[in-house]
A and B are shown apart, each in its own frame.
Chain A
Amino acid sequence: MDCVSTGGNVKVLAKAIHSLSRIGEELYLEPMEDGLTLRAVNSSRSAFACFMLSPLFFQRYQAPPDQAFHCKMPIKSVQAVFRSLSSLERSVEKCRIQMNSEKSRLTITLHCKHGLLKTHNLSFQDCESLQAVFDKESRGNVLQAQPRLWVDTVLHFPPSLEEVCVSVSGERVWLKNHVEDDADPSRAMMTELCLSSEEFDHFAISSQNSITFCLKELRGLLTFAESSGLPVSMYFDDPGSPVVLSVSDSVLEANFVLATLSEDSHQHSHSNSKAERCKAQPPPDDFMSDDMDSYLIAMETSELAVPSYEPAPHPCSTNHRARLSSTRQEEEEEEEEELLDRPPSKKFCSLFFGSVLPASTQLTSQTTRSQEVLASDSEDEGEKE
């Protein structure tokens, strides 16, 4: 592989590396015919990020002849090359990335002003391809907004807050801080922000859901989106199935797939039976009402908000439902003892990592060989056969 990026794109590349460093410890690099992909996954496999830089992003792009080339390296060492964004902006004119698979070296050369050359030789490890299996297009709910809106929204929450809960209705979006069950609710400050659908560039809701996910990765994507000025889209469905945050333009695409907090399986089946009996309450319009009980119930019964809101059930939801149920079963086994004492168990479903054939390395690939990984396994390469 040999590619050269110039000017502002060097900074974009640097920002992408910085965003990925918020996710995991290692950078997975995969040069392909249709572009260079940079990926990262966190140790518990509940967050996955992928940047796809098309050949047009680069001034010159040459994929390796051997298609099945994948490697990984500590992200810290790559980050070190692009550490200071301001000096990159000031002095770097172009950046060349070369892969030498014989010597197992990735060479990053920064061509600076006055003919100064900075060459970094990084060692890497061969690995299997890392790919989360997700399909953002089939998600029922899509929110797209300018990065400024997301940044302003996230600013209301304290930096120490780990998880945020997003709820949607026909014309509004609520964000709340998620407080862990074991935390003392009488000590935590609860923050809630209500946004009108008009503030979004694109607002398509087919089911009134509430999802809870980690803020850290969203913040990571936002620093990238803000610097590039690209709108951020959020694709999601039921609680428990991953949320996809996405940024794209003509030459690059970034997808962050984050696990969302799933509801307890017992609660879920219970609410399903309840669903048939009673009509769901849409989330209350009054922003002041923040009663925890009613809030939880709204979350559980949110599925049946679909028929009342949109007559036809969502066409693609069966696929997820099936996947969810298999996850649910595993959870049930894992948490049988816990079920009794604490109703909403805190559990992030891990993402699904499937082995991906080189021929089908598109982001949306759903392979039959995909296998789910629930336990955290930092040594796992993503390939499970």
Chain B
Amino acid sequence: MKFRAKINDVGCLNHFTRVVNTITKLTKACVLRLTVNNVYFVLSGKVANGGVSMWCELLQVNFFDEYQLEGVSADSNEICLEVAPENLSRALKTAQNAKFVKIKLTKKHCPCLTLAAELPSLSSVSRVVTHDIPVDVIPRRLWHDFKEPSMPDFDVSIYLPPLKTMKSVVDRMKNLSNYLVVEANLSGEMNLKIETDLVSVTTHFKNLGNPPWADDASQGGGQSRPVEAMAHARVDIRKLQQFLNGQQVNPSKAMCNIVDQRIVHLILLQEDVSLQYFIPAVA
């Protein structure tokens, strides 16, 4: 098992740092899955993390100038590591003006992802900072937990309003309730609602548009669904807030799929990054 990558370009470094920072805001620990073409940050929906799952996919060539990978074996040429994204984020933060950053899988006192950065200095000799981030290598028999989640058989898919607007609404609703109802229909309307004994608040968004999902197979009963009918899901408001607060990727597209009473599936798309986040509905 070998992994080695290098970032020379400051733009790529910043971009990668922003992605890692976004992940850091979403979870304390996640799985870093490295394949020949992609880098993934994965959180599988365990009860321990509130049933939330995450799938973030990066195209390796868009971030790294050098990228060498030798997986577990020839037929499964990939590596799965459990890592605390916060460590990675902290290491990248101290390397912001680096001439280059190298990331390597190393065997130190424990398996580590070693991030070495060469920093500009006052002398002819560069400063070198290395961070050994401890990781757990995930054995192959557990890999099935970290496969790409299938697109849920959603009832409604809708584009999200500007995330900043949504964030300020959710931030205020958070003060009133612990749960929030997300509902949307196929005519571009979405509502964010809270209902408590004392107060009910609803924010209405209109003309958001519904993404044209090319293959309607996944939409299941969508054909027969009346366009005005709302699909709704009640979710833990903190999970939604975490998602809205943390994101630093400035997506070109942001969408939300709702499986009625089951799940809210959020998708952020950028040319070389995609982030999917699944929040389970609560009764």
Contact A191 B130 (CB under 8 A): yes
Query: Max chain B CB contacts within 10 Å: which of A149, A185, A196?
Result: A196
Which chain A residue shows the least CB distance to B130? A192
Per the bound structure, the CA–CA distance linking A156 and B91 in Å amounts to: 8
Which chain B residue shows the least CB distance to A194? B128
Per the bound structure, the CA–CA distance linking A185 and B133 in Å amounts to: 11
Q: Which residues of B contact A278 (CB under 8 A)?
A: none
Chain B window 110-145, contacts with chain A (Cβ cutoff 8 Å), 1 for yes, 0 for no: 101010100001111111111111100000000000
Chain A window 184-196, contacts with chain B (Cβ cutoff 8 Å), 1 for yes, 0 for no: 0111111111111
A288 at the interface (CB under 8 A from B): yes
Contact A198 B130 (CB under 8 A): no
Contact B130 A287 (CB under 8 A): yes
Q: Which residues of B contact A199 (CB under 8 A)?
A: 121-123, 125, 127
CB proximity of A362 to chain B, nearest CB, Å: 34
Q: Which residues of B contact A190 (CB under 8 A)?
A: 108-109, 112, 131-132
Contact of A189 among B127, B129, B132 (CB under 8 A): B132
CB proximity of B253 to chain A, nearest CB, Å: 35
Per the bound structure, the CA–CA distance linking A189 and B135 in Å amounts to: 10
B87 at the interface (CB under 8 A from A): yes
CB proximity of A269 to chain B, nearest CB, Å: 27
Q: Which residues of A contact B106 (CB under 8 A)?
A: 288
Contact A198 B134 (CB under 8 A): no
CB proximity of B212 to chain A, nearest CB, Å: 45
B94 at the interface (CB under 8 A from A): yes
A291 at the interface (CB under 8 A from B): yes
A116 at the interface (CB under 8 A from B): no
Contact A193 B134 (CB under 8 A): no
Contact B129 A191 (CB under 8 A): yes
Contact B90 A189 (CB under 8 A): yes
A34 at the interface (CB under 8 A from B): no
Contact A156 B121 (CB under 8 A): no
CB proximity of A196 to chain B, nearest CB, Å: 4
Contact of A195 among B91, B127, B134 (CB under 8 A): B127
Which chain A residue shows the least CB distance to B112? A190
Per the bound structure, the CA–CA distance linking A360 and B259 in Å amounts to: 82
Q: Which residues of B contact A194 (CB under 8 A)?
A: 127-129
Contact B127 A288 (CB under 8 A): no
Contact A149 B108 (CB under 8 A): no
Contact B134 A156 (CB under 8 A): no
Q: Which residues of B contact A186 (CB under 8 A)?
A: 109-110, 134
Contact B121 A196 (CB under 8 A): yes
Per the bound structure, the CA–CA distance linking A288 and B134 in Å amounts to: 15
Q: Which residues of A contact B109 (CB under 8 A)?
A: 185-186, 190, 291-292
Q: Which residues of A contact B90 (CB under 8 A)?
A: 158, 189
Which chain A residue shows the least CB distance to B108? A290
CB proximity of B121 to chain A, nearest CB, Å: 6
Contact A189 B128 (CB under 8 A): no
Contact B108 A291 (CB under 8 A): yes
Per the bound structure, the CA–CA distance linking A185 and B132 in Å amounts to: 11
Contact A189 B91 (CB under 8 A): yes
Contact B129 A290 (CB under 8 A): no
Contact of A156 among B110, B114, B124, B129 (CB under 8 A): B129
Q: Which residues of B contact A198 (CB under 8 A)?
A: 122-125
Contact of A188 among B124, B129, B134 (CB under 8 A): B134
CB proximity of B13 to chain A, nearest CB, Å: 16
CB proximity of B17 to chain A, nearest CB, Å: 15
Contact B121 A288 (CB under 8 A): no
Contact A290 B130 (CB under 8 A): yes
Q: Which residues of A contact B121 (CB under 8 A)?
A: 195-196, 199
Chain A window 176-206, contacts with chain B (Cβ cutoff 8 Å), 1 for yes, 0 for no: 0000000001111111111110110000000
Contact B130 A189 (CB under 8 A): no
Q: Which residues of B contact A192 (CB under 8 A)?
A: 129-132
Contact A288 B130 (CB under 8 A): yes
Which chain B residue shows the least CB distance to A187? B134
CB proximity of A204 to chain B, nearest CB, Å: 17
Query: Which chain A residues in 51-67 approach chain B with CB under 8 Å?
Result: none
CB proximity of A371 to chain B, nearest CB, Å: 41
A155 at the interface (CB under 8 A from B): yes
Query: Which chain A residues in 192-244 approach chain B with CB under 8 Å?
Result: 192-196, 198-199
Per the bound structure, the CA–CA distance linking A225 and B174 in Å amounts to: 44
Contact A155 B128 (CB under 8 A): no
Query: Which chain B residues in 88-114 approach chain A with CB under 8 Å?
Result: 90-91, 94, 106, 108-110, 112, 114
The 19 sampled A-B contact pairs (Cβ below 8 Å) are: A185-B134, A186-B110, A189-B91, A189-B132, A189-B134, A190-B108, A190-B112, A190-B132, A191-B131, A193-B127, A193-B129, A193-B130, A194-B127, A196-B123, A198-B122, A199-B122, A287-B128, A287-B130, A290-B130
Report the 9 A-B pairs with minimum CB-CB distance, sorted nearest first: A198-B123, A196-B125, A186-B110, A190-B132, A189-B87, A156-B94, A193-B129, A194-B128, A199-B122
List 20 other contacts, CB 8 Å, given A156-B94, A185-B109, A196-B127: A149-B122, A186-B109, A189-B87, A189-B90, A189-B131, A189-B133, A190-B109, A190-B132, A191-B131, A196-B125, A198-B123, A198-B125, A199-B123, A287-B116, A288-B106, A288-B114, A290-B130, A291-B108, A291-B109, A292-B109
B-binding residues in A (CB < 8 A): 149, 155-156, 158, 185-196, 198-199, 287-288, 290-292
